[in-house]
Structures are given as structure tokens and as C-alpha cells.
Amino acid sequence: MIITEFHIKRISAAGVIFSIFVNLAWPQYRPVELIDRIHLVPQPVSVVCQEQKIAFPRAVSVMGLSLNNPEQQRTVETLTSLFAGFSDVALDFGGTHSYKIHFIENDSLPPEGYKLVSTENGVSISARSASGHFYGAQTLYQLLAFSYWGSNMLDISYKPMEEDAFEKRYIPLLSIVDAPQLELRSFMIDMGRATFPMPYIKHIIRIMAHLKMNMLHLRLYDDELNGFRFRTLPLGGENPYAIDSGDLKEIVRYARSFHITVMPEMESWGHVGSIVYHYPELFGAVGMYGGSSFGIGEATYRLLEKMYEEVLSCLEDDAIVHVGLDEANWAVLPGEENKGYTPTTHVGRVYDILMKLGRDNHQEITMHLWADHGGRPLPERIEADVVIEPWEYTEAGKERILERMEKYGGEHKTALMMGGGVRSTCHDGDYGATRIWCQQGIKYPNVLGITICLWGTNDVAGSLISLFAGADYAWTPQMPGVKKNDTTGELLRSEINVWMRKWQTIFPDAADNYLNVDRGPQTFMGKYLWPPMSNRAVSPTVSFKPESRSRINEHNNN
């Protein structure tokens, strides 16, 4: 019996078009069985379920994984942590139990794709890569956890259940074929406005991995805070929560073990108040929404090169770096007025510095930058080599999203990431803009992926719906959809909240209390939020207001 099947095809030339066919085979009067109650997240592309089901096994052997292979380490941990919660089920690796979980190599599948087949004798997970096996294991984790704990936690009001559901544990027999529809699925944390201790960053990585996200975007600094303590520069030492180069190397290593790439962001024009706090002579102008913009000149480029060099030394050989460049106002440094600097040449100069450092360090560097409100002008020579990122964070901004996709999306255009997620003024999280970006983005061949942004706050638990639902759309953009009678989206949000709370029950790493222990004090826009420290600045950079250009010139002349 087919419960849900999505047929997704990529049609070239015009981009990507999704054709989705959903066949709900259960009559409304029929009792709702367990598999109908499980929302696998991210929702797989194709799920075909049989009518049969089997009793939950008493013993399981895992085949096809090596306990000594670093690439398979997290897949092994996924299974051991899952079965640790099944007190009456034995698990071993390479054993002889009749029920087996078998990992199989299959080069015909997409790079991150997998095929999961559940039969009377066990489960097979076929994949082309270690990440595909890991993602298949995350789906298996949810399927078995919900099957084991079953209706005790999945009861849906007003819908009848199958007979003896509370007393019986069973596993559905099914086949899942799955692969992400977007190549890069990124989550951004704002270390320039909130605090993120090392254990907390690792905690976030584990949640991202379970949701099949594959990039962590670290916005290292902003006007309010510098979240990175530079070894050779007086930057970040004033922030007690700042990470250093050793920490960043550990984050990169830890994330890689979960098949996640780390992309640091180093603002290179605007949002640099925590930098000019130490270098007031480099202040150029107030930013678009306050804060500070660099004055452009050779002194600024020398500082940026030193900053880039230290951060690049912490990254992998194939590295991605975001240079910001958003919401800045133009100014050049004294004595630099007639040297031909423009916003376009500034982008090119930043690119050249990164590429030089990459060559010196034997790294392949890809540069990302925000597209800004009107679109950051690019030198023609680098249009094919960088990735731009427009953004919009509200569902009400749908028309702006459509306009930006029309402007930036298309064949032979610069590669594109989409900026979704939640803005700092939405304290309980959102996903509406993420959904629209993803559903529109799959139509354009130059779209690489989506960034789910969490601006201004370290309260991941409070905004978890942004990551939870956003990961669903990043993997399978068309699901879940808004129903026709749900004009405000309230019903969908309620449904997603139910799914998320049930998921948190089987995946306790995502539970609010566990997250908040590692988070420490809640901070927002550089300040502690709650008593007894409410409204106190984390760092003196929070209250720093740069002097006017004339006052700085006077100070330097004296």
C-alpha cells in the first residue's frame, strides 16, 4: 500500500520543476495506524509502505559498518544511542542475530542520498557515501524510536487507533528512497550579537546533523560583539565567551565528523563596531542601521588580511569563507580619496586577498557574500567564482523573495545561496520565508542552497521551529505544504509544533532543558536578557559608539 509517494524530477534548461503526487490510501473512518502518525524529518522524497508489519525484534545485529572507520563513527554512535533507550532489545555489530541492519554501498545513488528498505528480516540502508549512510541512519533512528515507543507518545486526538496499539510494538515494512533537493543546507548562529560557548556549538552541530543539515555558518563578529579571540591581534579578548583558533579548529573537526562544513563569516565592510573599537582610526561611516563601517584604504586591507589569515589557518583545505559586505555606508580613509576605490573594487580587493592567502596556504577558497538590499556590485572578473546571498525573513515578504529570485536566479548567473530563517525581532522562531525560498529556489539552476539564519540571540530552543521546519524544506522543499483553508498558516504551525515536540522526546539532545544547560545565560544583541544580569553588556564593545570622522582625524593629528 502506498501511503505517500513524491516523484521529483529535475528538468534542465528551465531549471528544476517538482511534480508531487500524494496518494492517501486510508479511508477517513479507518483507524489510523502507527506509520501514518510518524512525521519523519526531513520528510523523505519517497515512502512506500506495505500493509504488513512485524513485531519489534528482541535482538539486532548491525552489518557493514566498521567501528574503526572515522567516517562511520557517527553512524555507529547513532545506532548505539538509539538502542541504549530500548532496555529489552540487544544490539551488536557483526553478530548473528536473525534481525539485521545492513549498510550497503551503492554507487548509483546521489552523493548524499540513500535507500532504506524494511523487511521481515531487518533493514538495509544503501548509499554511495558515508554521509548517505549517516542520513539513512537518522531516518532509521526516528522510524525505530517512534515504532518502539509508539502510540504512547503519538496519540492524535479525534482519530481512532488500530486495535491493541498501546500494547504492541511493531515495525512497518516499507521502502524509502531519499536525497536532498538542495546541495547546501546551512544554519547560521550570530556570535557577533549573542554568546555561544563551545559545548553549546557542539550541541547545535549534533542537532543539525540529525536534521541532515550540512553547513554551519559562524558569524564571528558584528558591531556588538567579537566572538573570535584573535591570537595576534587585540580583537575578541574583551568577550569572555569568544572562541579562539584552537576552538575553531576543534569545531571544524567535530562538525566534519557529522558531515558538516564550517563556514566562518568575517564582516569586511559594515557591522564592524567590535573591530573599530580597537582600531578607531579605521572607522569610515555609520552603518545603514547604525553601527560602524570600515573606512576603505590600505590600512583596512592590511588588517583584513591578518584577520583572514588566522581564521583560514583553522579551516580545511577546501574552505568556504563568508565576507559579509552588507548594510554598509561608503567612506574612504584620509589620504586615500583619489586612489580609485569604489564598492565594486572593494569586493574585488577582498576576493584577491582571500585568493592569495588560499594559494599561500594551499587551500581552495570559495567566497560568499551577502547580496545586500540592492545587490552588491561585483567585478565582472569574479562573477563566476563567488556565491551571493540575498535574504528575507518573513512570509509577508513573499513578493520581495520572488523579485530577488527573478533578479539573481537563472542559468549562467552567479551562484546563489538563499537567506531564510528568522530575524532578531521574532523571538519564537519562524520558517515561512524559508519555505518560500526553498520552493522557489528549486526552479533555478544556479541556486546552491539555503541558510537558516538565527539573528541576534543564542536561544536556539526558543526558536527551534526555525531549524526543525527549515530543515524539512531544505531537504524536500514542497513538504509540508499550507492547506487551502489555513489562510493564516496557524494550523500548519500547530501541526509542526506537535511534530517537533514528539521528535524532541525521542531525540533528547534537542530538548529545551538540555540545550539551555549548554547555552548558559540567554543573551540578545550583546546583552544578558534575564535577571539578575538583565541589560548588562557582555562586552564593552556593545556600548561603543565610534566618534565622527572629524574627531578621529583630530585625535590622530594630535
Note the pLDDT tens digit of each residue in 135-144.
999 999 999 9
User: Given a cut of 60, is residue 556 above it in pLDDT?
Assistant: no
What CATH architecture is 4-178? 2-Layer Sandwich (3.30)
Q: Is the peptide bond before 42 cis (omega within 30 degrees of 0)?
A: yes
Q: What is the average per-residue pLDDT within 362-371?
A: 98
Q: How far from 158 is each of 67, 162, 306, 491, 495, CA to CA, in Å? A: 46, 13, 63, 16, 14
All cell numbers assigned to 102: 545492513
User: Given a cut of 80, is residue 380 above it in pLDDT?
Assistant: yes
User: Given a cut of 70, is residue 25 above it in pLDDT?
Assistant: no
Please tell me the CATH superfamily of domain 184-476, with its number.
Glycosidases (3.20.20.80)
Please state, in angstroms and rounded to a whole number, the distance separating the CA atoms of residues 492 and 481: 8
Cβ atoms of residues 315 and 356 within 8 Å: no
Give the pLDDT band of residue 160 (cuts 50, 70, 90): low
Q: Which of 177-186, 283-292, 467-476 has the lowest mean pLDDT?
A: 283-292
**What pLDDT score was predicted for residue 545?**
83
Give the pLDDT band of residue 480 (cuts 50, 70, 90): confident
Please state, in angstroms and rounded to a whole number, the distance separating the CA atoms of residues 66 and 73: 8
349: nearest Cα among 302, 389, 402, 391: 302
Fold agreement (4-178, 184-476): no
Q: What type of residue is 43?
A: Q
Please state, in angstroms and rounded to a whole number, the distance separating the CA atoms of residues 318 and 320: 7
All cell numbers assigned to 154: 503519538
Q: How far from 313 is each of 200, 250, 360, CA to CA, in Å? A: 23, 12, 11
Q: What is the average per-residue pLDDT within 28-37?
A: 55
447: nearest Cα among 388, 535, 372: 388
Average of per-residue pLDDT values in the chain: 89
Domain ranges of the chain: 4-178, 184-476
End-to-end CA distance of the chain: 83
**What pLDDT score was predicted for residue 376?**
82
Please state, in angstroms and rounded to a whole number, the distance separating the CA atoms of residues 86 and 55: 14
Please state, in angstroms and rounded to a whole number, the distance separating the CA atoms of residues 74 and 60: 18
Give the pLDDT band of residue 29 (cuts 50, 70, 90): very low
Environment class of 398 (CB within 10 Å of its CB; exposed 0-12, middle 13-18, buried 19+): middle
Give the pLDDT band of residue 26 (cuts 50, 70, 90): very low
Encode pLDDT of 344-359 as tens digits. 999 999 999 999 999 9
Encode pLDDT of 233-288 as tens digits. 999 999 999 999 999 999 999 999 999 999 999 999 999 999 999 999 999 999 99
Pick the more confident residue, 22 or 394: 394
**What pLDDT score was predicted for residue 162?**
54
438: nearest Cα among 425, 452, 457: 452
pLDDT above 70 as % of the chain: 88
User: Given a cut of 70, is residue 9 above it in pLDDT?
Assistant: no
**What pLDDT score was predicted for residue 154?**
52
What does pTM read for this prediction?
0.91
CA angle 21, 25, 31 (to 5 degrees): 140
Encode pLDDT of 65-115 as tens digits. 999 999 999 999 999 999 999 999 999 999 999 999 999 999 999 999 999
User: Given a cut of 70, is residue 386 above it in pLDDT?
Assistant: yes
Please state, in angstroms and rounded to a whole number, the distance separating the CA atoms of residues 338 and 341: 8
pLDDT above 90 as % of the chain: 80
**What pLDDT score was predicted for residue 16?**
32
User: Given a cut of 70, is residue 210 above it in pLDDT?
Assistant: yes
Among left, alpha and beta (phi > 0; psi -120 to 50; other), residue 319 is: beta
